[in-house]
């Protein structure tokens, strides 16, 4: 597929380019079979590098046919250039020159969804990270920034809307029913931020007045049948624009901001300058078609992409090793935005849950890498939870170290210093240091080291001396390529509780919460004037992305759950308690012993349900048992069957013991009111549906009947979806026919709505009553599309990633199935294949039988001709 076997590239080898591109003028002539691209580029020599003679100009380009190439008007003959599968090499004779390159591409045949491709009846692009090289020969690297002018020509009837970055500067009709639009983007940008869209699209429009009083036009483009689903994204966009002005002083800089929704997209969305392109599932919503979770995801992703205009576009990355510079920072920004728009603690809990159940797993596996990797084979494999979510945690730690105002000083300096530049993670840290006069030398190890650090905490109380001593040891497990680790600077936020649950002053100032800066392998912190043995509340707000061990008793955890002034730690104590109890039961399942649920969990959950003072969203989070994935991480050798059985047992026992309370809370919240995607209403629905989720675990009809009634009367997708999935997963036999009927009705009703049908697929694929046969059957459904990423993720991804007992069936059928799908998809869309394969990569953690089965299919995959994406994942997993 490639020139040779894929090779790794290294951060240490970074060099500036030999030439810069001042201006890029592109003409796209979109045709029925192929598209002609004419590119005019103005180059000049990079004089900050030493050259004995003019170096060759090495442009990258793949999957295209070169028609002609000229330098300064001289058409180059075949003897004057070199061309290979991935490169076009020219020899300039002046320090400044202009190239005109004509090439043909076939977007209609592009199944990889990078570069220019077609989705339903439209054309669109995805250029990050290295998709631009599938459009034309170029210096496709983020440190080459250029001013783009783009002309798009197409049939006017079929493609009335022609979009690119910046402002439209010319429109005109041509012969043969064709027309042309030219766009100019005055801001220099790297090629990965280029975008083009053509299609029969409609839009909703609004305006936003910026803080300096400029009016910006806002447009969301969709296929006509989706025009009623844009309102929430528009509201979210306006909120984001205002928030970035208020919190970061950042104003939007073009006259128009556009969002386009497309059905075929590898990721969530893309921040192309002035023209964001979104996976339709991350932008379209109407109360009857989208759940609360989708509404919230849209708000977060619209914000994320919008925030990139500064953190990513105005200041971009020097090279792809620096990806977390823009992604970690922007995820931190969108998380704070969501926290401000909704419940701060709930947002934190959700993010930490994601981090601990998925990023920690990645950081302990064969693909573990620092947030700034020092090598990669395929950059697309590094759009990871580590770069994004752990990257955001690292930025959050800086925020906590320098404080809110210090952080703003730091970002002001960063944007001022580097506006219009392509920079590194270190430049970001440096701006924080310079603005605040702090030393982050040790802290920088978070950028270069992989693995999740461990804090082992012990304590001692000396009654006579009235002294409390907290000893903290740090360590970090080895990860591939990093056998021994340097120290980390770990901010550990903590407090102490007295016997009444009151916060104790930590020093003379009376402070009851503070951050301990952990910088040694082992350190002891002494608190004086402590007149009774305290209970420590540790890692408040999850102040660092670490594992923290402290020997809490179950009573301690129940106590913290009730009294800790830190909301996050109240939740975390509840999780610790549940994990402790479930893991003990896992041991019993393995030994074939009888299972009995510890009454402390029942009491704790009962108290939570009865506590009217708590935010309802928080109650729902507290009642949420740790996921099977997170529980699996607690085991040396993962026993997925035992985990599933123990967790189900706990759910069922809680439902039985708390049935009356659950029914009461359910009924109290089951009120008919117009749908609003607002925090309080979402909280009520979430709690109600959480109660329903418990009630359908009972081996009797109560829950089933409630779910059935809710399904029949649901006034919005959140309630309808929840009821349907409760019916599908319910325990009692009476649910089977009702579930069948609901699923059928749902499919009939929503057959035409691709995003809704995806939820229908994933509900069934993730349901523990359904095995592989069901998934195979659903793959034959007329609404399924074997090439579409959303469909594949909804079915194959949900089954292999969430329906763990069935995916890991002892027969190995799940593994064989996934391997077949990965091989099939890899030939079409490597990025998608590399995401889907993930569940196979942790094979070393399972029992011997499964280990062998998984290893066998990985080796089978290795026999095929592979993309660099799959090549890298498979070879690293087998290593
Ligand atoms: N920059 C996009 C974001 O905001 C992600 C796009 C990555 N695309 C890819 N094909 N690797 O998260
Ligand atoms: Zn991003």
Q: What is the pLDDT of residues 530-548, one digit of tens each?
A: 999 999 999 999 999 999 9
Q: Which residues pair with 59 in a beta bridge?
A: 88
Q: Check if 383 has its Cβ closer than 6 Å to any atom of ligand 1.
A: yes
**Is the distance from the beta carbon of residue 380 to the nearest atom of ligand 1 less than 6 Å?**
yes
Average pLDDT of the residues in 630-657: 98
Nearest alpha-carbon partner for 854 in 645, 644, 646, 640: 640
pLDDT at 606 over 60: yes
Structure tokens at 274: 């002035």
Q: Give yes or no for residue 301 CB within 6 A of ligand 1.
A: no
pLDDT at residue number 4: 64
Q: How buried is residue 307: exposed, middle or buried, by Cβ count under 10 Å (0-12/13-18/19+)?
A: buried
Tell me: the pLDDT tens digits for 503-521? 999 999 999 999 999 999 9
Averaged pLDDT for residues 433-441 = 98
- Ligand 1 binding pocket includes 869 (Cβ within 6 Å): no
Nearest Cα to Cα of residue 854 among 869, 870, 868, 838: 838
- 437 has a pLDDT exceeding 60: yes
The closest residue, in CA terms, to atom 1 on ligand 1 is 270
> Whose CA is closest to 718, among 415, 293, 391, 194?
293
What gap in Å lies between CA 199 and CA 215, rounded to an integer?
27
Closest atom of ligand 1 to CA, residue 304: 4
List the structure tokens of 192. 């990965």
Give me the helix-helix angle, 323-341 and 391-418, nearest 10°: 110
| pLDDT-based confidence at residue 315 (cuts at 50, 70, 90) | very high
- Any ligand 1 atom below 6 A from CB of 389: no
**372 alpha carbon to ligand 2 midpoint, in Å?**
15
> Which pLDDT tens digit goes with each residue over 823-873?
999 999 999 999 999 999 999 999 999 999 999 999 999 999 999 999 999
Tens of pLDDT, residue by residue over 186-196, are 999 999 999 99
| CA dist list (Å): 286 to 79, 669, 703 | 59, 22, 28
Q: How far is the CA of 333 from the centre of ligand 2 (A)?
A: 10
Compute, in angstroms, the gap from residue 447 CA to the centroid of ligand 1: 20
d(CA 76, CA 257): 40
Among 383, 391, 867, name the best residue to mutate to test ligand 1's pocket (greatest count of ligand atoms within 8 A of Cβ).
383
Distance between Cα 311 and ligand 1 center (Å):
14
SS (H, E, C) 517-580: EECCCEEEEEEECCCCCCEEEECHHHCCCCEEECCCCHHHHHHHHHHCCCHHHHHHHHHHHHHH
Question: Does the beta carbon of 386 lie inside 6 Å of ligand 1?
Answer: no
Domains of the chain: which residue ranges?
A: 9-200, 310-549
C-beta 129 within 6 A of ligand 1: yes
Contact 472 CB / ligand 1 (< 6 Å): no
Closest listed ligand to the CA of 331: 2
Tell me how far the alpha carbon of residue 304 lies from the centroid of ligand 2, in angstroms.
Answer: 6
Quickly count: other Cβ atoms within 10 Å of residue 194's Cβ.
27
If you take atom 9 of ligand 1, which residue's CA is the nearest one? Answer: 128
Q: Whose CA is nearest to atom 4 of ligand 1?
A: 270
**Interatomic CA distance for residues 648 and 653, integer angstroms:** 8
Q: What is the pLDDT of residue 227?
A: 98
Average pLDDT value for residue range 347-362? 98
Largest CA distance in the chain: 95
Query: Which of 128, 272, 331 to mutate for ligand 1's pocket (most ligand atoms within 8 Å of CB)?
Result: 128
Tell me how crowded residue 554 is: count the other CB atoms within 10 A of its CB: 15
For the CA of 113, the nearest atom of ligand 1 = 10
Q: Is the pLDDT of residue 119 over 60?
A: yes
pLDDT, average across residues 419-443: 98
pTM comes to 0.98
Q: Kindly report the protein residue whose alpha carbon is nearest to atom 3 of ligand 1.
A: 270
User: Is it the case that residue 2 has pLDDT exceeding 80?
Assistant: no
Give me ligand 2 centre to Cα 276, in Å.
11
Segment 5-61, tens digit of pLDDT: 899 999 999 999 999 999 999 999 999 999 999 999 999 999 999 999 999 999 999
CA of 358 to the centre of ligand 1 (A): 18
- Fold exhibited by the domain 9-200: Immunoglobulin-like (2.60.40)
Going by alpha carbons, the residue nearest to atom 11 of ligand 1 is: 380
Residue 309 CA, ligand 1 centroid: distance in Å = 14
Return d(Cα 650, Cα 342) in angstroms, integer: 30
647, 723, 804, 875 from 691: Cα distances, Å: 16, 11, 23, 44
492: β partners: 516
Interface confidence (ipTM) of the complex? 0.98
- Mean pLDDT score of the chain: 98
Q: Which CATH number describes the domain made up of 310-549?
A: 1.10.390.10
Mean pLDDT, residues 711-734 taken together: 98
Q: Rounded to an integer, what is the distance from CA 864 to the centroid of its chain? A: 29
Kindly give, in sequence order, each residue whose CB lies less than 8 Å from that of residue 878, ignoring residues fewer than 6 positions away: 855, 858, 859, 862
Whether 831 is in the pocket of ligand 1, judged by its Cβ within 6 Å, is yes
Asked if 305 is an active-site residue, the reply is yes
Question: What pLDDT is attached to residue 3?
Answer: 46
Question: Which residue in the list 223, 299, 305, 393 is annotated as catalytic?
Answer: 305
What angle, rounded to 10 degrees, do the helices at 616-623 and 344-354 form?
A: 20
Mean pLDDT of 586-600: 98
Q: Count how many Cα atoms sit within 13 Å of the Cα of residue 730 in the half-sphere of its side chain.
A: 31
- What is the C-alpha to C-alpha distance for residues 416 and 409, in angstroms, rounded to an integer? 11
pLDDT score of 5: 81
φ, ψ for residue 147 (rounded to 5)? -90, 125
Pocket flag, ligand 1, residue 378 (CB < 6 Å): no
């Amino acid at each position: 597929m490639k020139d040779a076997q894929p090779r790794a590239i290294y951060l240490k080898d970074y060099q500036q380019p030999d030439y810069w591109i001042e201006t890029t003028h592109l003409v796209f002539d979109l045709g029925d079979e192929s598209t002609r691209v004419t590119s005019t580029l103005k180059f000049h020599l990079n004089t900050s590098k030493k050259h004995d003679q003019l170096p060759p100009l090495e442009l990258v380009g793949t999957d295209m046919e070169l028609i002609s190439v000229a330098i300064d008007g001289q058409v180059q003959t075949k003897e004057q250039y070199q061309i290979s599968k991935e490169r076009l090499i020219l020899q300039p004779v002046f320090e400044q020159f202009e190239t005109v390159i004509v090439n043909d591409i076939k977007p209609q045949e592009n199944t990889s969804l990078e570069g220019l491709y077609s989705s339903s009846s439209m054309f669109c692009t995805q250029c990050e990270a290295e998709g631009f090289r599938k459009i034309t020969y170029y210096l496709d690297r983020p440190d080459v920034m250029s001013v783009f002018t783009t002309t798009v020509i197409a049939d006017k009837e079929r493609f009335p809307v022609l979009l690119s970055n910046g402002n439209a500067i010319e429109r005109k009709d041509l012969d043969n029913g064709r027309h042309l639009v030219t766009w100019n983007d005055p801001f220099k940008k790297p090629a990965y931020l280029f975008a083009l869209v053509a299609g029969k699209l409609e839009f909703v429009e609004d305006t936003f007045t910026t803080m300096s009083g400029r009016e910006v036009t806002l447009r969301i483009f969709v296929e006509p049948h989706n025009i009623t689903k844009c309102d929430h994204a528009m509201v979210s966009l306006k909120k984001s624009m205002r928030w970035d002005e208020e919190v970061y002083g950042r104003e939007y800089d073009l006259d128009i901001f556009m969002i386009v929704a497309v059905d075929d997209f590898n990721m969530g969305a893309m921040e192309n300058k002035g023209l964001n392109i979104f996976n339709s599932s991350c932008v379209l919503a109407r109360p009857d078609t989208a759940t609360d979770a989708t509404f919230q995801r849209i708000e977060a992703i619209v914000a994320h992409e919008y925030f990139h205009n500064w953190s990513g576009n105005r200041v971009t990355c020097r090279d792809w090793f620096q990806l977390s510079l823009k992604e970690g920072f922007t995820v931190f920004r969108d998380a704070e935005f969501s926290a401000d728009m909704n419940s701060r603690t709930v947002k934190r809990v959700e993010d930490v849950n994601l981090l601990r159940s998925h990023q920690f797993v990645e950081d302990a596996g064969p693909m573990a890498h620092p947030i700034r990797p020092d090598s990669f084979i395929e950059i697309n494999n590094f759009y990871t939870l580590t770069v994004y979510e752990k990257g955001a945690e690292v930025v959050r730690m800086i925020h906590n170290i320098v404080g809110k105002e210090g952080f703003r000083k730091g970002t002001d300096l960063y944007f001022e210093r580097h506006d219009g530049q392509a920079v590194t993670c270190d430049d970001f840290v440096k701006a924080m240091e310079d603005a605040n006069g702090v030393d982050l030398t040790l802290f920088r190890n978070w950028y270069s080291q992989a693995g999740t650090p461990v804090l082992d905490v012990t304590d001692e109380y000396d009654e006579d001396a009235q002294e409390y001593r907290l000893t903290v040891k740090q360590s970090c497990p080895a990860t591939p390529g990093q056998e021994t680790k340097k120290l980390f600077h770990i901010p550990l936020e903590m407090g102490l509780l007295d016997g009444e649950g009151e916060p104790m002053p930590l020093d003379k100032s009376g402070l009851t919460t503070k951050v301990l800066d952990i910088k040694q392998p082992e350190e002891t912190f002494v608190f004086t004037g402590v007149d009774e043995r305290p209970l420590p509340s540790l890692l408040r707000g999850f102040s660092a992305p670490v594992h923290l061990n402290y020997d809490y008793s179950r009573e301690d955890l129940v106590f913290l759950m009730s009294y800790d002034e830190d909301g996050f730690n109240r939740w975390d104590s509840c999780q610790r308690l549940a994990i402790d109890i479930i893991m003990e039961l896992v041991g019993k399942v393995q030994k074939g012993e009888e299972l009995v649920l510890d009454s402390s969990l029942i009491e704790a959950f009962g108290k939570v349900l009865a506590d009217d003072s708590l935010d309802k969203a928080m109650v729902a989070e507290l009642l949420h048992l740790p996921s099977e994935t997170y529980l699996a991480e607690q085991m040396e050798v993962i026993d997925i069957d035992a985990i599933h059985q123990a967790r189900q047992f706990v759910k069922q026992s809680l439902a039985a013991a708390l049935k009356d309370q659950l029914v009461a809370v359910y009924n109290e919240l089951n009120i008919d009111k117009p749908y609003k995607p607002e925090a309080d209403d979402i909280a009520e629905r979430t709690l109600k549906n959480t109660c329903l989720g418990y009630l359908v675990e009972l081996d009797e009809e109560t829950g089933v009947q409630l779910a059935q009634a809710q399904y029949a009367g649901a006034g919005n997708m959140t309630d309808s979806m929840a009821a349907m999935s409760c019916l599908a997963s319910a325990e009692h036999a009476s649910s089977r026919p009702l579930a069948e009927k609901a699923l059928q009705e749902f499919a009939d009703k929503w057959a035409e709505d691709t995003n809704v049908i995806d939820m229908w697929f994933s509900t069934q694929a993730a349901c523990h009553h359904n095995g592989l046969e069901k998934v195979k059957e659903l793959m034959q459904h007329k609404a399924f599309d074997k090439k579409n990423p959303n469909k594949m993720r909804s079915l194959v991804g949900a089954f292999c990633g969430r329906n763990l007992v069935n995916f890991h069936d002892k027969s190995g059928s799940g593994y064989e199935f996934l391997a077949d799908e990965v091989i099939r998809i890899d030939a079409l869309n490597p990025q998608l294949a590399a995401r889907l394969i993930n569940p196979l990569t942790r094979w070393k953690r399972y029992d011997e039988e499964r280990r062998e089965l998984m290893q066998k299919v990985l080796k089978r995959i290795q026999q095929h001709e592979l993309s660099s994406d799959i090549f890298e994942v498979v070879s690293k997993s087998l290593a």
